[in-house]
Amino acid sequence: MNSTAETVPVISKVRLGRSTSSALIGGGIAIVAALAIMPYLLDERFFYHIAILVCFAAIGASSLHLIIRTGHVSLCHAAFIGVGAYVSANVVMKLGFPFVGGLVAGTLAAAGLGLMIGPVILRLTGKYFVLITFLFGEILRMVFVDWQSITGGANGLSGIPAPAPVFAEPKYFYALALLAATACVAVCGRILSSETGRFVNAIRESEQLTECVGVPVIRTKVMIFVIACGFAGFAGALIAHYARYISPPNFGPLESLNLVIMNVIGGMQTLVGPLLGAIFLVLVPEFLRGYVQLQHIMFGVILILVMAFLPAGVVGVKDWVARRMIPHDRRGEQ
Amino acid sequence: MIKISRRNALAGIAAAAAIATVSSTALAAETLRIGAIGSLSGGGTAWGLAIKRGAELAIDEVNQAGGLSVGGKNYNLELLMYDDQYTGQGGKTAAERLVFQDKVKYIVGPIGSNPVLSAMEVTTPQKVLLMSNGYTPKILDNEHKASYNFRFTLTNLEYAPSMMKWVKENLKVTKVGILVPNDAIGQSVAPPLVKLYQDNGIQTVVDYYERGSKEFSPLITRLMAAGIDGFDINFNAPGEAGLMVKQARQIGYDKLVYQMGGPSVPEIIEVAGQHSEGFISYEMFDFDAPSAQPFVKAYAAKYGKGIINSQTPAFYNATKILIEAIRRADTVDDTTKIRDAVEKLAGYDAGVYGPVRWTGKAIYGVDHQLALPFYVVEVKNGKPVTRAVLSVD
Amino acid sequence: MLSMLTNPTILGQIVVNGMSLSSIYILVALGFTLLFGIMRVVNFAHGEFAMLGGFAMYYLYAVFSLPWVAAILLAPLAVAIPALFLEWLVFRWFYQKMFQSMIGLLGLSIVMIYSALLTWDAFERNIPAAFDGILRFAGVILPIDRLVTIGVSALALGAFYFLMVHTRIGLAMRAAAQDVEIAGTQGIDTRKIYRVAFFVAILLAALAGALYGQVYAVSPFMGERPLFVAFIVVILGGMGSIPGAALGGLILGFTESFLGTFYGGSVASYASFGAVILLLIFRPWGLLGKPE
């Protein structure tokens, strides 16, 4: 998580230039880092499993965050995760390549598909982009169901091997997943804090204005989209070789929506948002799981409350608390 | 502020973890937990509730009779159930939590190929027993030789041959229309079913639809135009099957409508109303049989007079078989002994299906498939009437 | 294939199926597009109001045995009036916030589905058909309940059109849909407009649910399909466009009926999604929407 710690505050200075925000983001990173080592302290297999799910979600949500920062909300990100998962599983199981081969092929396949459709659909903006990606995700899901020779159809693919025998143990797979997630988040952070990142922010605020000052808008958007889809494919390959069984519902519209929820719940303005959102969306249902038939109702109420009172996401919790609880004269100490 | 919120978050998680571990150890002296996995959300919820209720009824029976005594100790049984959302990922997470967090040794459920296959990846290496139901043959025919799981309802591979024989002799159809959902069930059962029809010299017209559709008139119109004289609404979820019967009659299809699998006769009568008259179906349970009455009464007392999903007695049966095997193995921890006891349970009668008989060796290489009697029923005056009782060959 | 095309019975069947599918799609989509057009709210809980409409109809008609006309009039009101409380409790927080509304109202949808599940269990209920016959007309078979569905939908559409075009409140709603701030400066009480629009949208959704529940079946999960369809109909017609929702519903209903009959279920889904994607690429504001 070190690299995250280095990159994210840079964005915050560029974006907001407020010391309170960097403190907030520092706090967010501290939470993330503490949670990252927690499974090793508890050393329980189930906690490793949950932590691995958080890592997968973090890769998916932070790569989607790249696209969201250009002002486009994609509702087919999980479908790209699926492309990576199915390609990697096939490359390893049918063509006999080692796991690394599958990982590379899955990443490239998803990125390649992103490159094919990106230039067409990225001409749309706002709600139209949301709608077209929703439909595209549905079509990909239908392909996963119908192309039975490659995807195993609705029954899915089972018996996918672990990356190496040692990684069949969640304890060791977690190290791999944590490394992958850290690397992915670091790259996302690096991109957002680079010159490209400033283009991205400019594009979100006004495409036409950005075009006028000579920034290649479409090319930048396609590049970001392709990178994000590549990361999705990368996550998909990891998921396939961790779960060792994949089927179409894992990559359907609900999962895509979940990745969007992570961004909105966490906060769409900074990279810490999707990370907090990923943790939130994996852990909260786990805490509620014991309330067998009430768990979904409680989860729904939490979604409503967070969105109603923290429209900027969990990242905004500090501002909200500051507004309500801390007297004016003490705010300077923050 | 940040410090406080971070400490709170950590404290909250640590406390929750502590509660989870304390409760599983402190109570273990007299409480024995049976795990359950099933869909408690989305379209598969009726099945998840069937698992929950079937298992609860079996557990209530044992607890009301003073508990389960094993190895000189007396245990009060408790069901611990998690949602699998009817997905592979959900099945795996639920199984991980039951096996590693709650240290459960035996699990009833889930229903459905996706969650069963992924839960099995977790339970089998840990020697945790899985008493499940799903249509894919891989549940029993896999690299583990299904060493720690059993299947408690029949699939098409078991019942279809004798059912087909009956259909051929009694219904005299020549060209059959089949509508199946484009999901795990549909894709598992349609190809062998079509082959079975063809082997018996009956033509088929097959079409797939997306799970969740409610309007089948266009597809039925298409089947009618192909000149079918039998409409097999095979493996559809109860609500969809009911709508198919209703809509077929409403658009003027007046020939035979029947069902070779996916039994849900009470639901179909409820949804299709008068249009269900003359409908013929495979049925896995006879709710009107005298032997079923104690079960039906117990269900109504606890869950009201709603329709009983026909998976409910299957999981009541599975839980009772599991409990009896624990009693006979005389251990609550050694799942290998309990599994051996389950295998040797032939002849035990849990009360709803008659004596236990294991089968499956010929098809899957292992005798972990429960052989159940099954029925052919016809709807007459709004009631299912049994026309034949068949058995697995 | 060719023989099917020239067969008047089958063609007639396609038209009747298409019309009855369309009419329900339109009712659901109209409310959805109205909420989006005026409040910029993506109501992911819209299908659940249809579900409540179905249960209201079930109780009024099947359990309390009210006359059908009274039941079909009361069921939407029985949902829309209590829903005003939800408007105050939940919806008002999300006005003019597209993404927050999407997630928050998804939360509401989850709460509504699983509360319904606790209350009514998971099995499907049937509302007995009020008009359970078949009309044979020139070889075409017309199920009467479908005709009634088409008729009721047409009446509701007519009333809605009258409200929007010929009343002051309709004018105010259309003004708010175009630009809510300017409408506010012109002396329009936006809070009141929001509440009226919400009431009308829920009324239409609940009416759709009541009809849908009687033609199909009632269960806590019955709202998923109508929402999904409303989403696509609204894309097709143009987000926020009312005539667009009507046209989109007609097109989707007929496509499903026509392609489903001639080519089967799979082809129908691929073709209709593909067509909508092409439409979005070349005319993203939908058939009758306006470019922004």
Question: Which has the minimum average pLDDT: A14-23, A205-214, B274-283, C229-238?
Answer: A14-23
Selected for mutation to probe chain C from B83, B187, B217, B308 (highest C CB count within 10 Å) is: B217
Q: Which of A131, A136, A311 sits opposite C100 (nearest CB)?
A: A311
Nearest CA in chain C to B309: C123
Q: Which of B9, B92, B183 sits opposite A243 (nearest CB)?
A: B92
Nearest CA in chain C to B44: C122
| Rounded alpha-carbon distances, angstroms, from residue C123 to A205, B286, C27, C75 | 49, 19, 25, 21
Chain C residue numbers with beta carbons less than 8 Å from the beta carbon of A257 are: 106
Rounded mean pLDDT of chain B? 86
- What domains sit in chain B, N to C, each tagged with a CATH number? 2-154+292-356 (3.40.50.2300), 156-283+375-390 (3.40.50.2300)
Nearest CA in chain B to A27: B2
Supply the DSSP string of B1-25, one letter for each residue.
-HHHHHHHHHHHHHHHHHHHHHHHH
- The reply to whether C173 falls in a domain is yes
Any A CB within 8 A of B213 CB: no
Rounded CA gap, B195 and B203, in Å? Answer: 10
Nearest CA in chain C to A123: C281
Mean pLDDT on C152-163 = 92
Are B271 and C13 in contact (CB < 8 Å)? no
Listed as own residue / partner, the contacts of A48-53 with beta carbons closer than 8 Å and 24 or more positions apart are A48/A170, A48/A171, A48/A173, A48/A174, A49/A170, A49/B93, A49/B96, A49/B100, A50/A282, A50/A283, A50/A286, A50/B93, A51/A174, A51/A177, A51/A178, A52/A170, A52/A173, A52/A174, A52/A177, A52/A242, A53/A282, A53/B93
Chain A residue numbers with beta carbons less than 8 Å from the beta carbon of C100 are: 264, 307-308, 311
Rounded mean pLDDT of chain A? 86
Chain A residue numbers with beta carbons less than 8 Å from the beta carbon of C95 are: none
Q: Which residues of C touch A (CB under 8 A)?
A: 90, 93-94, 97-115, 117-118, 231-232, 235, 239, 266, 269-270, 273-274, 276-277, 280-281, 284-285, 292
Question: Which has the minimum average pLDDT: B282-291, C2-11, C201-210?
Answer: C2-11
Nearest CA in chain B to C256: B218
Reported as type and span, the H/E element at residue B83 is strand B73-83
Query: pLDDT-derived band of residue A28, with 50, 70 and 90 as boundaries?
Result: low
Interval B62-76: pLDDT, tens: 999 989 999 888 999
Are A38 and B13 in contact (CB < 8 Å)? yes
Are C224 and B252 in contact (CB < 8 Å)? no
Q: In DSSP terms, which residues pair with B374 in a beta bridge? A: B390
Specify the pLDDT at position C47.
94
Q: What percent of chain C has pLDDT over 70?
A: 97
Q: Does domain A2-333 have CATH number 1.10.3470?
A: yes
Q: Which of A124, A299, A303 sits opposite C104 (nearest CB)?
A: A303
Chain A residue numbers with beta carbons less than 8 Å from the beta carbon of C248 are: none
Any A CB within 8 A of B186 CB: yes
Any A CB within 8 A of B300 CB: no
Chain B residue numbers with beta carbons less than 8 Å from the beta carbon of A158 are: 117, 121, 138, 142
Q: What is the pTM of this model?
A: 0.85
Structural domain range at position C149 = 24-221
Specify the pLDDT at position C236.
79
- The reply to whether C116 falls in a domain is yes
Nearest CA in chain A to C108: A300
Mean pLDDT on B257-285 = 86
Chain B residue numbers with beta carbons less than 8 Å from the beta carbon of C141 are: 251-252
Any C CB within 8 A of B209 CB: yes
Specify the pLDDT at position A13.
38
Taking 50 as the threshold, does the pLDDT of residue B24 lie above it? no
Question: Which has the minimum average pLDDT: A19-23, A259-263, B268-272, C93-97?
Answer: A19-23
ipTM for the predicted complex: 0.89
Interval B81-94: pLDDT, tens: 999 988 888 899 99
Taking 50 as the threshold, does the pLDDT of residue A4 lie above it? no
Specify the pLDDT at position B213.
79
Query: pLDDT-derived band of residue C167, with 50, 70 and 90 as boundaries?
Result: very high
| C neighbour chains, 3+ CB pairs within 8 Å | A, B
Question: Which has the minimum average pLDDT: A279-283, B130-134, C225-229?
Answer: C225-229
Specify the pLDDT at position B2.
36
Return the number of other C-beta atoms located less than 10 Å from residue C112's C-beta.
22
Supply the DSSP string of A181-245, one letter for each residue.
HHHHHHHHHHHHHSHHHHHHHHHHH-HHHHHHTT--HHHHHHHHHHHHHHHHHHHHHHHHHHHSE
Are C110 and A300 in contact (CB < 8 Å)? yes
Return the number of other C-beta atoms located less than 10 Å from residue B170's C-beta.
13
Which H, E and C letters describe C58-96, residue by residue? HHHHHHCCCCHHHHHHHHHHHHHHHHHHHHHHCHHHHCC
Taking 50 as the threshold, does the pLDDT of residue B3 lie above it? no
Residue pairs between chains B and C whose CB atoms are closer than 8 Å: 107
- The reply to whether C291 falls in a domain is no
Chain C residue numbers with beta carbons less than 8 Å from the beta carbon of A264 are: 99-100, 102-103
- The reply to whether C7 falls in a domain is no
Backbone angles phi, psi at B54, to 5 degrees: -60, -50
Q: A83: burial class by Cβ within 10 Å (0-12, 13-18, 19+)? A: buried
Interval B326-355: pLDDT, tens: 999 999 999 999 999 999 998 898 888 888
Mean pLDDT on A202-228 = 91
Question: Which has the minimum average pLDDT: A190-204, B13-27, C188-202?
Answer: B13-27
Domain boundaries, given as residue ranges, for chain A: 2-333
Q: Averaging pLDDT over each range in B222-226, B230-234, C71-75, C121-125, which range is the top one?
A: C71-75
> Is residue B91 a contact partner of residue B100, using CB atoms and an 8 Å limit?
no
Chain C residue numbers with beta carbons less than 8 Å from the beta carbon of B239 are: 124, 217, 219
Chain A residue numbers with beta carbons less than 8 Å from the beta carbon of B52 are: 292
| Rounded alpha-carbon distances, angstroms, from residue C195 to B215, C29, C79, C203 | 34, 18, 15, 12
- The reply to whether C18 falls in a domain is no
Supply the DSSP string of B236-260, one letter for each residue.
--HHHHHHHHHHHHHTT--SEEEES
Query: What is the total count of domains within chain C?
Result: 1
Chain C residue numbers with beta carbons less than 8 Å from the beta carbon of B221 are: 10, 13-14, 17, 261
Q: What percent of chain C has pLDDT over 90?
A: 38
Any B CB within 8 A of A331 CB: no
